[in-house]
Structure 1
Amino acid sequence: MASTAVLYIDVWSDFVCPFCYLETPVLDQFRNAYGDAVEIRWHAFELRPEPAPLLDPNSDKIAESWESSVRPLAGERGVTMRMPPVAPRSRKAFEAALFARESGRFDLVHRAIFKAYFEEGIDIGDTDALLDIAAACGVDPELLEEALDDGTYTDLVIEDEEFAKKLGVSGVPFAVLSREPAPGQEPPPPIALRGAAPIQHFEAAVERLFPDGFPGN
């Protein structure tokens, strides 16, 4: 198996999207299979940024979606979830995760925010809640609060979203798989996967990107 990344998976998601959370076990499974040869890079995509109206968490539409789509897929993928009682904005949560990246704790905080929202029903749009989540992951809450108050990482969130628009992303999760070129060759075009794609779709993309076999396999 290659010891450095040769395959990249760029994933646009939103912390308030249940299908984004349901894609995490698939990406975990994929990463476990390919190890350090794969680099997963998460990107921000706010489904309802200011001033878009927030959804009513108690609406029949959301309840129907959970019963018909979310819960069955959660059962298939072994994910514990409950319908959150709140529908917050997610920009500050993205900023908190980016702050955590500076100390090498992005993955911990990223996963903890998802879990807090979809397993514990915590309002991840609330700054104090984000500080508690980050502190439990070993992130300095005082420095994080400063960064959130100052909007230190706001531009990075917006950059992620602007790039997503250029790619034509209109919903999440949205993943793009790409590879390093072979010596003296042009790399094959990246492959996009929309929605909560199963592991088989990722494996098929790898076969297309590496027709001669994945390095180390």
Structure 2
Amino acid sequence: MTSTPVLYIDVWSDFTCPFCYLETPVLDQFRNTFGDAIEIRWHAFELRPEPMPLPDANDETILDSWENSVRPIAEERGVTMRLPPVAPRSRKAFETAMFARESGRFDVVHRAIFKAYFEEGIDIGDTDALLDIAATCGVDPELLEEALDDGTYTDLVIEDEEFAKKIGVTGVPFAVLSRESAPGQEPPPPIALRGAAPIEHFEAALGRLFPEGFPGN
């Protein structure tokens, strides 16, 4: 199995989107199968940035979506979830994850934020809550608080979202699979997967990107 990435998966998501959390076990399965041959790169996409109004967590549309869409997929994928009692903004959560990337703690913090919101109902728009989450993941809360207060990573969040607009992302999760070019050849065009795509869609995309066979096998 190759030890360097040959397949890249760029994923735009929002910590407040249940379908984004539901995509994590699929990506985990894919990564567990192919290991370091795959690099997953998460990007920010705020569904409700300022000044967009926040929804009522008890809105009938949200409740219906959970009963008819979220819960069935969660059960199928073995994900523990409950409808959060709050509907926060997610920019500070993204900034927290980006701060954690600097110390190699992105993956654990990224997963912990999702879990805190969808399993424990924690308000991930609250700075103190984010500091607590990060501290449990081995991130220095004092340095994080300073970065959040200063908006150190705000521009990076905005850059992710601006690039998403350029490539036509209008909803999340949105994954783009791409590969490096083979010597003397043009690489096949990237493949976009929208929504909480099942593992079969990723496998099909892999086959299209590597018709000669995936070197990570």
Contact 2:176 2:192 in 1 (8 A): yes
Which one-letter code corresponds to 2:140 in the other structure?
D
Q: CA deviation at 1:50?
A: 0.2
Tell me what 1:159 maps to: 159
**TM-score, normalised relative to structure 1:** 0.99
How far apart in 1 are the matches of 2:100 and 2:181? 31
Tell me what 1:65 maps to: 65
Q: CA deviation at 1:3?
A: 1.0
Summarize deviations over 1:121-164 as a string: whole Å, max 9, x none: 00000000000000000000000000000000000000000000
Tell me what 1:182 maps to: 182
Which one-letter code corresponds to 1:108 in the other structure?
V
Summarize deviations over 1:24-44 as a string: whole Å, max 9, x none: 000000000010000000000
The number of residue pairs the alignment matches comes to 217
Say yes or no: does 1:110 pair with 2:121.
no
Summarize deviations over 1:36-87 as a string: whole Å, max 9, x none: 0000000000000000010100111111110000000000000000000000
Tell me what 2:209 maps to: 209
Which one-letter code corresponds to 1:176 in the other structure?
V
The 3-state SS of whatever aligns with 2:61 is helix
How far apart in 2 are the matches of 1:19 and 1:59? 17
**Which consecutive unaligned segments of at least 5 residues does structure 1 have?**
none
Contact 2:105 2:137 in 1 (8 A): yes
Say yes or no: does 1:133 pair with 2:109.
no
Q: Which consecutive segments of 4 or more residues in structure 1 shift more than 4 A?
A: none
How far apart in 2 are the matches of 1:202 and 1:216? 14
Tell me what 2:34 maps to: 34
**TM-score, normalised relative to structure 2:** 0.99
Q: CA deviation at 1:184?
A: 1.1
Which one-letter code corresponds to 1:153 in the other structure?
Y
Which one-letter code corresponds to 1:75 in the other structure?
E
How far apart in 2 are the matches of 1:193 and 1:2? 24
Summarize deviations over 1:185-216 as a string: whole Å, max 9, x none: 11110000000000000000000000000004
Contact 2:34 2:216 in 1 (8 A): no
How far apart in 2 are the matches of 1:29 and 1:99? 26
Deviates more, 1:179-188 or 1:93-102: 179-188
Contact 2:83 2:118 in 1 (8 A): yes
